[in-house]
Structure 1
């Protein structure tokens, strides 16, 4: 099985093809990646964007059609003189990725084609957070999609709210999972990643951070997670724990976190903090608690408004510290973080700017709300799946299926 977030084994180069063959493969992969990213849509754009001759573009697209990777259709007339171009589209029998999003209360399984379009989607509610119960339900849904789409599905890519190494969930504190193997979900190559990491990847490729070379993403759900994305690649660290920003000691050192540490930032910024500050409640359901407090604040409840203001300041101070340490071009936020910024923008902004070192204040990295919302993690999982498919080995396996 294949995983994300841990050291990869050395690559065997003993049987690599000749240089000319390799260059042709790389050219086709470049076209497929540009098509998948939405940066080309016609053969004319292929020639201009990639600097190809018309003959080379014809040859590459012909090979991709033969391999059931790309389909071409005549573009609608645009009133211009000259020969009309053709649209480049995913092949109707082309490769697919099965993407899974396991959250705290729900799960979703989607089948995605080249270019990111979702062809099918199944969802379910999590009644028991026991790993076996959740994985059995997801495995059944995945099996149904594989029965429908067959060998077109090349990889299963899974998003989970926890620390991931390879295909194993090392720790998902809020689900109470430890050392859970996700490779049991399908007899396919399996990839796995943290939900906030994959949300950040999706924002950098298809969302609010597409124009940034270095982007920081932060997601508040049950706790806080995120990722630094550099040139479209998430910085997941040596063992997959990169981006566990919620467990930085930005909180009260007397308060114990579910992860086993004390003083985690998690405990100051999610629904647990909002309920504690507003009504002195200990909440077992942080998402629901966050929405209750935010709604009460909007309705004029002074205690709820003070809690929202306090949590927005705690979030802003932490974001300032991360900007000092990581130097991103911009920050994107999702989940409850988006609601906090909307509810208390001045409190957040004041705390954020106060936490920045002097040179960062001359050009403050902007903070943007997610463009993808709750779909970010499953979109990121699909992106990771296509990173696996759109490789020399992935295309070779596709052609040999």
Structure 2
């Protein structure tokens, strides 16, 4: 654990790295201007970050008179994080550098649906990826398809998922950040996706259930126990329907992937998401599928309006199956969304955008949050100390 003096020494460097992450290729002159740094301080800080391996410098294009400057970007062989997406059926992992872009994705299925076995297998995979990474792995970011409540983990019906933070953090030698997959997908969309530039954004994603997050100034609002964003359990649904969570009338019971089988009078599908996409695809030519798509799109639009009324965002982003649901019945969605909005939100209107990161969104968000920690003043101080102890 780094002392306060060591952490303080890296505060300005952490601010510089934050700017490089936001704008790769930023010049040293512009960095000094934005952060109110003297030229000598900017040079000293960037030199330390270069020696630490985080950044690389190259001569910036000449833009007029004056002394030439350099541009800063991620070092190709610099420190990395491993991003992990733990899903119901399996896992996905990727190594990510300072740019936050996942490299080639590895994936696999669980051998046994048991938390200890899942964690042991994951530790092996991450170790293999660490050995192949272009630079040292300094953190692991994990997205879990379960409610992750600080100090009080609440497993879903898939109780074998390791939602206990201690079980996961103890498996690795580097810091671990753990979050709900929908929350981290929302972070991805705000940082580098459909909601870039939004001060306040609501992200909602539809899969088997509904999740999401309210993101303010690039940071997810986690709630008192880290379990906010369970939008699928808002009482927007039929109050006579009991949800698996124990509540009645949850929104997710009328919009989640599994609802299509019920609406069409079919048996529950082994792959609810795949079945939902198949129904939505044939909605243009099958009256029963079209009726189901319009029903679900209407419920999605009405709930989206409720989220806008509650949070007053600059933008609302829909991910997962949501874009396909809206595209299959755009009029039904639009009418329900417009009717549910308070008049103050209708003109000029809060835009609804489709997510852009697709299935990689949890990985991108997990990497972003892991990098937040690794590039903080405390993270840089710890990494510097570890390098010195090795040398």
- Per the TM superposition, whether the score is higher than 0.5 is yes
Pick the aligned partner of 2:186 from 197, 200, 204: 200
Q: What SS does the corresponding residue of 1:123 show, helix, strand or coil?
A: strand
Contact persistence 2:78–2:134 (CA under 8 A): no
Pick the aligned partner of 1:109 from 93, 96, 99: 93
Determine if the alignment matches structure 1 residue 160 to structure 2 residue 148: no
Determine if the alignment matches structure 1 residue 390 to structure 2 residue 375: yes
Alignment of 1:56-75 (within 5 A): 56-75=41-60
Determine if the alignment matches structure 1 residue 219 to structure 2 residue 227: no
Q: What SS does the corresponding residue of 1:393 show, helix, strand or coil?
A: helix
Corresponding residue for residue 262 of structure 1 = 248
The structural deviation recorded for 1:128 is: 5.2
Q: What SS does the corresponding residue of 1:164 show, helix, strand or coil?
A: coil
Corresponding residue for residue 371 of structure 1 = 356
Give the Cα separation in 2 of the matches to 1:338 and 1:287: 13
The structural deviation recorded for 1:179 is: 5.6
Give the Cα separation in 2 of the matches to 1:191 and 1:236: 13
Corresponding residue for residue 108 of structure 2 = 124
Give the Cα separation in 2 of the matches to 1:132 and 1:263: 34
Give the Cα separation in 2 of the matches to 1:267 and 1:174: 17
What are the superposed Cα offsets for residues 322-368 of structure 1, whole Å, 9 maximum, x if unpaired? Answer: 11111111101111001112211121111011111222223321100
Corresponding residue for residue 389 of structure 2 = none
Give the Cα separation in 2 of the matches to 1:160 and 1:168: 15
Contact persistence 1:225–1:245 (CA under 8 A): yes
Give the Cα separation in 2 of the matches to 1:393 and 1:222: 38
Corresponding residue for residue 7 of structure 1 = none
Corresponding residue for residue 172 of structure 1 = 156
Contact persistence 1:168–1:179 (CA under 8 A): no
- Mean CA deviation greater in 344-353 or 90-99: 90-99
Question: What TM-score do the two structures reach when normalised by structure 1?
Answer: 0.87
Aligned length: 384
Contact persistence 1:170–1:179 (CA under 8 A): yes
The structural deviation recorded for 1:130 is: 3.8
Give the Cα separation in 1 of the matches to 2:10 and 2:235: 48
| Root-mean-square deviation (Å) | 2.6
The structural deviation recorded for 1:57 is: 2.4
Unaligned runs of 5+ in 1: 1-11
Alignment of 1:20-169 (within 5 A): 22=8, 25-38=10-23, 41-75=26-60, 77=61, 83-126=67-110, 129-149=113-133, 152-166=136-150, 169=153
Unaligned runs of 5+ in 2: 387-391
Question: What TM-score do the two structures reach when normalised by structure 2?
Answer: 0.90
The structural deviation recorded for 1:139 is: 2.3
Give the Cα separation in 2 of the matches to 1:267 and 1:49: 48
Corresponding residue for residue 399 of structure 1 = 384
- Mean CA deviation greater in 337-346 or 177-186: 177-186
Q: 1 or 2, which has the higher strand percentage?
A: 1
Contact persistence 1:165–1:240 (CA under 8 A): yes
Contact persistence 2:88–2:161 (CA under 8 A): no
Contact persistence 2:24–2:99 (CA under 8 A): no
